[in-house]
Amino acid sequence: MSTALLTDRYELTMLQAALADGTAQRRCVFEVFTRRLPAGRRYGVVAGTGRLLEAIADFRFADAELDWLRSAGVVDDATLTFLADYRFTGSISGYAEGELFFPGSPVLVVDGTFAEAVVLETLALSILNYDSAVASAASRMTWAANGRPCLEMGSRRAHEDAAVAAARAAVVAGFAGTSNLEAGRRYGLDTIGTAAHAFTLLHDDEESAFASQVASAGPGTTLLVDTYDVTRGVELAVAAAGTGLGAVRLDSGDLPTLAREVREQLDALGATGTRIVVSSDLDEHAIAALAVAPVDSYGVGTSVVTGSGAPTCGMVYKLVLREGADGELAAVAKVSAGAKSSVGGRKVAGRRLEGGIATEEVVLTSPDADVPVVDPVAASGDVLRPLHVPLVRDGEVGEAWTGSEGVQRARERHSASLAELPRAAKRLSAGEPALPTEVVVV
């Protein structure tokens, strides 16, 4: 399916004017970054890169898209002719998916003609802003879980397409699986889920509901024990599946207290290996509050798919370098009062490490001209880990970050990146960004 119309109208009206005045073919560099993190957040997580690359590969104006643009009078015939042959032939680099980011981090760099690059703005921002918001929240949850698995169960709380994206982003940030089958099919994610309260209510009593589920799914299934009385539910669950019952799930009530009581009851019944899964509107703070409770895994829905109160990362797509009438490249920047200004010139970034622990984000830039794509370690002479990786070269989309392998690679990158942060930087309490950002002019 074409992704070409997943954009704002002004991208194409700018293109039309630039084609008419001869500036459309000027070489340009756009960068994606955020000016600030959501209030109280200490870091963000880049996610959606693989989805963006897949969307760019499908960014084509076929007859259906062109016919609609013509009938709606969006652009003129000359622009439609250009769009009919549109292909992005430039290059894109950026932070590896799963990498942490901070205010001012140049998470994506798009290099091409104005005509090719400007029309990707809305697509890039809509994907990166949402997916990174979900991953940033999910990362806080997996950290609070301290090694216990987190399971994404938020499909019913999001748009049907966003649900798939959210499941992918959550797994990038460390979630163990998702309830969403399309996400499982598309990205090779582990899927989870057994039964809801409706299944118990369907039957004449809880005993027959449990017996039916065990007969269908086996004793290793997870039985939902809080439809009626939890204590009675646990008793019937073990009676139905035996002491080899896989797990029980608690979806309501005072979870810390219930988890302790249920653990004691399971152990007394001989079901010492039966796990306890909790759900019920969990977020990172609720998960942290369950740290000392005998809980084995967490099912998270609404909070993760909505970014746990921060549903966007505030990323922007800004022109930082453009070819002038003289054919020379020059840095450009938005100059305005307050926080909406930008910094011109191409940028590359590295993370300063001391003893394997990150201490600073370093952004290298030039105020006057193009900065070659260089290793920031060599450019600065300091101990920096380079952050930019190639994503698209001369229009060819790299496959390293797409598909199921891309998700796994991003998951590994996130784990390694998070491990570099000082422990205090992972606190859930409000505070400044975990790392300061230093801009170095080269």
Tokens of 6: 């997943």
Question: CA triplet 30, 57, 15: central angle to 5 degrees?
Answer: 45
- Are β-strands 275-278 and 297-300 bridged in parallel, bridged antiparallel, or unpaired? parallel
Question: CA triplet 302, 308, 312: central angle to 5 degrees?
Answer: 110
pLDDT tens for 231-279 read 999 999 999 999 999 999 999 999 999 999 999 999 999 999 999 999 9
pLDDT tens for 71-111 read 999 999 999 999 999 999 999 999 999 999 999 999 999 99
Which superfamily, per CATH, for 194-295? Aldolase class I (3.20.20.70)
Whether the per-residue pLDDT at 208 is higher than 70: the answer is yes
The domains of the chain are located at: 9-135+310-441, 194-295
Distance of CA 159 to CAs 40, 154, 185, 190, 306, Å? Answer: 27, 10, 18, 21, 11
Q: Which of 141, 131, 144 is nearest to 101 (CA)?
A: 131
Whether the per-residue pLDDT at 148 is higher than 60: the answer is yes
pTM, to two decimals? 0.95
H or E element, residue 317: strand 315-323
Q: Which of 62, 38, 33, 214 is nearest to 124 (CA)?
A: 33
Whether the per-residue pLDDT at 414 is higher than 80: the answer is yes
User: What pLDDT score was predicted for residue 378?
Assistant: 59
Tokens of 428: 């859930």
User: What pLDDT score was predicted for residue 441?
Assistant: 82
For the CA atoms of 180, 182, 186, 187, what is the dihedral angle to 10 degrees? 0
User: What pLDDT score was predicted for residue 426?
Assistant: 84
Residue 125, Cα to own-chain centre: how many angstroms? 12
Whether the per-residue pLDDT at 366 is higher than 90: the answer is no
Which fold is adopted by the domain 9-135+310-441?
Answer: nicotinate phosphoribosyltransferase (3.20.140)
d(CA 383, CA 403): 33
pLDDT class of 219 with cuts at 50, 70, 90: very high
User: What pLDDT score was predicted for residue 96?
Assistant: 97
User: What pLDDT score was predicted for residue 1?
Assistant: 86
Share of the chain above pLDDT 90, in %: 87
In this predicted model, which residue has the larger pLDDT, 364 or 271? Answer: 271
Average pLDDT over residues 215-240: 98
Q: What are phi and psi of 127, to 5 degrees?
A: -75, -50
pLDDT tens for 21-39 read 999 999 999 999 999 999 8
Whether the per-residue pLDDT at 195 is higher than 90: the answer is yes
User: What pLDDT score was predicted for residue 370?
Assistant: 56
pLDDT tens for 154-186 read 999 999 999 999 999 999 999 999 999 999 999
